[in-house]
Structure 1
Amino acid sequence: MHKPKVYRSAVGAMFFMAGICFSSWASRIATIQEKHGLNEAELGTVLFAIPVGLMLSLPIASWAIAKVGSRLVLAVALTLYALTLIALGFAPNVFTLTACLVVFGLGSNAVNVSVNTQAVATEAMYPKPILASFHGLWSLAGFLGAGVGTLMIGQEVSPQVHFIIMTCIIIVSIFICWRYLHNDKQPVGGGGKVFVMPDKSLIILGLIALCSMVVEGAMFDWTTIYFKKAVGASKAWEGAGYTAGMCFMAAGRFVADGFSHRFGLKRTLQVSGALSMTGLLIAVIFPQLVPAIIGFMFVGAGISSVVPMIYSAAGRSTTMQPGAAIAAVSTISFVGFLIGPPVIGILAEIFSLRISFTFLALMAALVVVFTSRAKI
């Protein structure tokens, strides 16, 4: 048995490595697109392989965690995740690239469920919430990974060499942290059943996360387009809203734990939904550069704490084991991440981008509504 800070450092390192892995891939998507001669529509189709892998992993991850514990699942999944990164760099054709992306998505979500199970076990050792700070480390890793990717592109380093370097760092980190992770072969949280239908409380938690993930998924894919077409930003400022949102999302995750400890989970989720709704309405009502940037600062801060807090609450379920409960909530919420971007595209085509972003404000409002009715 190690000290809580030791577990916290090891689990935090795993969150950071997961963020590095994903952001390393994301930073070289344009390079991979050029290598395979894909247009935007073809690239979008290929990238859909990632959510296919994510969905495939959900029942596998919860079952594996129940059988062998989240530590072993995390180590294996993160190793697979990192090795698949190399395979993506060396993929000789689109078919192979697509197959590798399915595996990449599978590894990504297996890491997500297992590392959050570890985080819930670590949080139980502290008198106050700490789970959101782990997600903050993932966000920081995203910034670092993107920066390293930009540097690699500038130095004309191939994706293959770039990904090999990142994979080596990740695997070494796994070896170093292995002994300091929770050995929960008898799953953390004890005797809850693995395969049971989620109860009403878990379903509501999933719906809260789903609404927030609709906003988050759309923010990732559509903010730059919104600034270009609705705000009319110059090319140099097209990414300003996305950058502002990401910065405030990362920062929000480091203050969310303290806020939740002081005001409670319900109030934290209500404030989060209200911030997202307010920010989106500012961007819709005042589609000028400065108000829109401020609006997306609110959005980033609003979505920052919802998923970490929901995972924390799910991990304390009395009806399911933590890994299974987190996987169940993740399954429900992931639907939002999938449907958000295409729904925005459809609404924008039928009406306008501003109308479609008003729909996102409605989703943020539902976070407040569902939270207010939930017994949490």
Structure 2
Amino acid sequence: MEITAAKTINQRLMLRIAVGCMFFLAGICFASWASRIASIQQSLGLSDAALGGVLFTLPVGLMLSLPFAGWVISKTGSRNILIAAVITYGVALVGLGSAQHVWQLIACLLCFGFASNTVNISVNTQAVIAEKMYDKPIMASFHGLWSLAGFAGAGIGTFMIGKNIIPQHHFILILIVMIAGVIYSSRYLDHDKNGGDSGPIFVMPDNSLIKLGIIAFCSLMCEGAMFDWSVIYFKKVILADGAWIGAGYTAFMLTMASGRFIADWFAHRFGLKRILQISGLLTATGLIIAVAFPYLYTAMAGFLLVGFGVSSVVPMVYSAAGRSKTMSPGVALAAVSTIGFIGFLVGPPVIGFIAGATGSLRYSFMLIAAMGISVAVVSTKAKL
């Protein structure tokens, strides 16, 4: 009995490490691309407007993968799909760095976006399996590793730029790291056997999953707006000096990453519903502070709260979706991701539209505060 128990403990530990490794690989892959966008823009001679049009291919690839990923995972299991998707993700990254023409960049971005979300859904399915082996939440810590990888990828990108290493060589190195990580992790990933499911490619989510999707929509709308507009807010509203323009974004990213490493403990201690309610209120409070007091230190404090607020929402929602009683984890995650990702896409342009219509970016940031309040309200009504 003791040997069996020890074997079970070792298996769940190795699964947790393997899944965490895959989250890290996904994060460093995306951050590597983000860190070299300017280099690729310069090498292809793209204007800002042209680059904006090209970058729209990425969310197109993401959206195309949403129904496919959930369906294929429900048929074949998440392990093999995750392995294939991570390798494809890395190969597409090398393609981005090797593109000599705009059409090549567009084609690779489409594949990159498709692989990115396929990795997202399959790795979260593995995370749900790992979490079921524990008597406490662990999902947020996996997402924390993704955020940590973002910092590592940005740092490596900065080093590569400083050493004048071209994106192609930079990305080949990242691909080698990803292949090594996959070889190690593949031995310990769970062999979930979901094959033989003859269900449809898309199933309308039930009421509980729709509510989870709405919560994800509101939170990801906040995340998308903060990613795209926080630096501009500090430049145009806070009127920060050059060295401090990125301070708000840095503050937001730091607390979003660190918050994910402590969110599991809070969820275990206080429950999922309470954590989502507090998260929504923190997001709204932070943005209200940044809008009401548009000064450097108060805005930084507000953005710190926003980072804590959004840090645990998506991991917790994914964890709840993966426990759906009406759908397989892969299909449920795909359904919630579809609703949530729409918020990530529409958030930034809506903020820009409101800012243009009102002539003030401050007013548009109140919409993000309203999304934070919506997270708290919908979480209160949802059965979690």
Q: What is the TM-score with the length of structure 1 in the denominator? A: 0.98
Q: Deviations over 1:9-33 (max 9, x none)?
A: 0000000000010000000001011
Which of these residues, 50, 55, 80, is aligned with residue 72 of structure 1?
Answer: 80
Which of these residues, 220, 225, 229, is aligned with residue 222 of structure 1?
Answer: 229
CA distance in 2: counterparts of 1:223 and 1:243, whole angstroms: 9
1:285 aligns with 2:292: yes
Residues 159/60 of structure 1: CA separation in 2 closer, same or farther (3 Å cut): same
Q: Deviations over 1:124-154 (max 9, x none)?
A: 0000000000000000000000000000000
CA distance in 1: counterparts of 2:184 and 2:216, whole angstroms: 33
Which of these residues, 53, 62, 87, is aligned with residue 70 of structure 2?
Answer: 62
DSSP 3-state at the match of 2:302: helix
DSSP 3-state at the match of 2:46: coil
Q: Deviations over 1:197-237 (max 9, x none)?
A: 10000000000010001100000000000000010001110
Q: Deviations over 1:269-310 (max 9, x none)?
A: 000000000000010000000000000000000000000000
Opposite residue 219 of structure 2, the aligned amino acid is S
Pairwise mapping of residues 161-172 of structure 1 onto structure 2 (< 5 A)? Answer: 161-172=169-180
Q: Look up the match of 2:268.
A: 261
Aligned residues of 2:67 and 2:201 also touching (Cα < 8 A)? no
Q: Look up the match of 1:106.
A: 114
CA distance in 1: counterparts of 2:201 and 2:313, whole angstroms: 25
Q: Look up the match of 2:5.
A: none
Pairwise mapping of residues 2-17 of structure 1 onto structure 2 (< 5 A)? Answer: 3-17=11-25
Q: Look up the match of 1:271.
A: 278
Q: Look up the match of 2:240.
A: 233
Q: Look up the match of 1:26.
A: 34
Q: For structure 1, which segment, 60-69 or 285-294, has the greater mean C-alpha deviation from structure 2 after superposition?
A: 60-69
- TM-aligned CA deviation for residue 40 of structure 1: 1.6
Residues 274/63 of structure 1: CA separation in 2 closer, same or farther (3 Å cut): same
Which of these residues, 306, 314, 326, is aligned with residue 319 of structure 1?
Answer: 326
Note the aligned Cα RMSD (angstroms): 1.3
Q: Deviations over 1:323-357 (max 9, x none)?
A: 00000000000000000000000011111100000
Q: Deviations over 1:254-279 (max 9, x none)?
A: 00000000100000000000000000
Pairwise mapping of residues 97-136 of structure 1 onto structure 2 (< 5 A)? Answer: 97-136=105-144
- TM-aligned CA deviation for residue 195 of structure 1: 4.3
Opposite residue 36 of structure 1, the aligned amino acid is L
Which of these residues, 288, 299, 302, is aligned with residue 306 of structure 2?
Answer: 299
Aligned length: 374
- TM-aligned CA deviation for residue 172 of structure 1: 1.2
CA distance in 2: counterparts of 1:338 and 1:110, whole angstroms: 17
Pairwise mapping of residues 167-182 of structure 1 onto structure 2 (< 5 A)? Answer: 167-182=175-190
CA distance in 2: counterparts of 1:336 and 1:281, whole angstroms: 20
Moved over 2 A (4+): 190-196
Aligned residues of 2:97 and 2:167 also touching (Cα < 8 A)? yes
Q: What is the TM-score with the length of structure 2 in the denominator? A: 0.96
CA distance in 1: counterparts of 2:202 and 2:356, whole angstroms: 41
1:147 aligns with 2:163: no
Aligned residues of 1:193 and 1:320 also touching (Cα < 8 A)? no
DSSP 3-state at the match of 1:16: helix
Q: Deviations over 1:49-72 (max 9, x none)?
A: 110000000111111101211000
DSSP 3-state at the match of 1:3: helix
Aligned residues of 2:68 and 2:201 also touching (Cα < 8 A)? no
Opposite residue 315 of structure 2, the aligned amino acid is P
Aligned residues of 1:20 and 1:141 also touching (Cα < 8 A)? yes
1:96 aligns with 2:104: yes
Aligned residues of 2:128 and 2:322 also touching (Cα < 8 A)? yes
Residues 121/335 of structure 1: CA separation in 2 closer, same or farther (3 Å cut): same
Which ranges in structure 2 are unaligned for 5 or more consecutive residues?
1-7
Opposite residue 123 of structure 1, the aligned amino acid is E
CA distance in 1: counterparts of 2:198 and 2:190, whole angstroms: 17
CA distance in 2: counterparts of 1:162 and 1:80, whole angstroms: 17
- TM-aligned CA deviation for residue 186 of structure 1: 2.6
CA distance in 2: counterparts of 1:269 and 1:54, whole angstroms: 26
Aligned residues of 1:192 and 1:318 also touching (Cα < 8 A)? no
Opposite residue 220 of structure 1, the aligned amino acid is F
- TM-aligned CA deviation for residue 196 of structure 1: 2.7
Pairwise mapping of residues 327-338 of structure 1 onto structure 2 (< 5 A)? Answer: 327-338=334-345
Q: Percent identity?
A: 60
Aligned residues of 1:4 and 1:122 also touching (Cα < 8 A)? yes
CA distance in 2: counterparts of 1:334 and 1:120, whole angstroms: 19
1:248 aligns with 2:252: no
Residues 47/265 of structure 1: CA separation in 2 closer, same or farther (3 Å cut): same
